[in-house]
Amino acid sequence: RGRLRRRPGTVFIIGAVDSGMPTHVLVAVDGSDCSERAVEFVAAEWAEPPTTLLHVIDPVEAGYDAGVLPSGSEAWYRSATETATDLLSKRRARLVAARDGGEDGSDVDTTTEVGRPAATIVEVAEAVGADHVVVGSHGRKGVSRLVLGSVAESVVRRSPVPVTVVR
């Protein structure tokens, strides 16, 4: 389907060989250092295209099935939403400042969704018309990767558009 290219540092680009500038980039943001590096990568690589920063609230973290929040979970959901809003606001400010010195930033949107992270990232990329997805990878290996899975790997496998994985 595509090729794997490694760039200096720990950036992997999976997908189409075209090295042109994307027209819309989706960046998955989860609060980790690797997702921060993903935002920094986009700021350094692509100053022009509209960008959507996405945070996925995973109900599995609260012990619920994706998409099903029972009636005692309002406090958990409210807290997760507040955390997401704060996180996205900070990442957006950094991206806007790095791109154009803090201009209006009208080319950077943020969104929060509830669901399983990998599937939701791919769905939102399609919904917003993104032609490139950027995700961070924790770089887990061995048993922890088997137990915890890899959102980045699942996004790479599911995405119909090129994916850049930043570690």
User: Which pTM was predicted?
Assistant: 0.83
- Say whether 20 sits in a helix, a strand or coil: coil
Report the mean per-residue pLDDT for the chain.
82
Strands 3-7, 11-15: pairing is: antiparallel
Per cent of the chain over pLDDT 70 is: 74
Residue type, 97: A
Tens digits of per-residue pLDDT, 63-89?
654 455 555 578 888 899 999 999 999
If 0-12 CB within 10 Å is exposed, 13-18 middle and 19+ buried, where does residue 142 land?
A: exposed
pLDDT of residue 103: 65
29-73 confidence digits (pLDDT tens):
998 998 999 999 999 998 889 999 999 999 887 665 445 555 557
Q: Decide which of 83 and 10 is more confident.
A: 83
